[in-house]
Amino acid sequence: MSVEAPTTLMEVKDLEVAFRHHRSTLRALDGVSLEWKPGEILGLVGESGCGKSTLARTMLGLEEPAAGEVLLEGQPTTGKSALAGLRRRVQMIFQDPYQTLNPRQRVGQIVAEPLKVQGVGKELHQERIERAMNEVGLEPGRFLDRYPHQLSGGQRQRVAIAAALVLEPDGLICDEPVSMLDASVRSQILTVLLDLQKKRGLALIFITHDLSLAWTLCDRIAVMYLGRIVETGSATAVIESPQHPYTEALVTAAPVPVAGGRVRRELLKGELPDPSNLPSGCPFHPRCPKRFEPCDRVVPELVPAGKPGQLAACLLHGEKGEHVSGD
């Protein structure tokens, strides 16, 4: 009897994360639900402070949710054993290659650390370390005995990728992995990640501010605003036919082609609201050029909009959502 392959690698359901700050509560994630499929390249985009990195950290158990759940192939990831299994299957590459590597360890020790933590037999260490180093373009004989301060920024990020690969995971969450690198190095690191994705069949999540990068690299895009996902769909659909006014504003500001050769001129105005004092109704309505009467009292749900598989949380596509105040 054949066993069907899982349709999702990871899934989050109604995820909420809140942080206490003095006397206020900051809602970093507010009911986020998202699927990440095997072998898929998923882009998470949005302004700074929208919750992208918090979502990634919560998916890996680095932040504890106040509500909701994180599933790995349909199974909960709570508990020490389940969390260890999750981190064997999914690893994270952080933004700053100058902060993520232990300055007192040699490269060989850094790459070997995940194997030790996960209890992988020592007889496999050398083989896996050398394979990971070669796959990121660092010759083991030249680099294993070096310290991080002896490496360039690009070489440091390659070491971080090797350390993530050494457990042979099914997925990598990449939190703006090239934003702190020189422009000349960025394309090299992206090429390494894409080559690994094809060679190993990895699922990737790219967290980025760069909508043009997400459009180029990703199969699917999820747009976040104030701790909520406001639009999802194929990368082509989201960029060429955005269905949420916030996504339209991001596309306008990004140097990406627009269908028909026309450039949208509806620029985003105003500052991101205080996450500890969220506006009522749709969280985007104070900045939205298309807002209308119900927007300040109804929190819209994600509903089908635009092309097949595309969803948007906007009342322009039907008043379906949670009423936060009476009529």
Question: Is residue 5 included in any domain, yes or no?
Answer: no
Q: What is the pLDDT of residue 243?
A: 95
- Model confidence, pTM: 0.90
Question: Is residue 174 included in any domain, yes or no?
Answer: yes
Q: What is the C-alpha to C-alpha distance for residues 238 and 232, in angstroms, rounded to an integer?
A: 7
Q: What is the pLDDT of residue 225?
A: 95
Question: Is residue 64 included in any domain, yes or no?
Answer: yes
* 224 backbone dihedrals φ, ψ, rounded to 5°: -110, 145
How many domains is the chain partitioned into structurally? 1
CATH number at residue 120: 3.40.50.300
Determine the residue type at 249: A
Question: Is residue 48 included in any domain, yes or no?
Answer: yes
Q: What is the pLDDT of residue 204?
A: 97
Q: What b/e readout covers 140-155, taking b as 16+ CB neighbours within 10 angstroms?
A: beebbeeebeebebbb
pLDDT tens digits for the chain (327 residues)? 445 667 899 999 999 999 987 778 888 999 999 999 999 999 999 988 899 999 999 999 999 999 999 999 999 999 889 999 999 999 999 988 888 999 999 999 999 999 999 999 999 999 999 999 999 999 999 999 999 999 999 999 999 999 999 999 999 999 999 988 888 899 999 999 999 999 999 999 999 988 888 999 999 999 999 999 999 999 999 999 999 999 999 988 776 555 555 455 456 677 777 777 888 899 999 999 898 989 999 999 999 999 999 999 999 987 665 655 444
Strand-pair category, 228-234 with 90-93:
unpaired
Cβ atoms of 209 and 277 closer than 8 Å: no
Q: Which residues make beta-bridge pairs with 321? A: 300
Q: State the DSSP code for 272.
A: P
266 φψ region: left (φ > 0), alpha (ψ -120 to 50), beta (else): beta
Q: What is the pLDDT of residue 327?
A: 40
Q: What is the pLDDT of residue 203?
A: 97
Question: Is residue 289 included in any domain, yes or no?
Answer: yes
Question: Is residue 327 included in any domain, yes or no?
Answer: no
Question: Is residue 1 included in any domain, yes or no?
Answer: no
Per the structure, the complete domain to which residue 217 belongs is given by 10-318
Residue written as token pair 């890996």: 60
Which token pair is 172?
């990598």
Question: Is residue 151 included in any domain, yes or no?
Answer: yes
Q: State the DSSP code for 16.
A: E
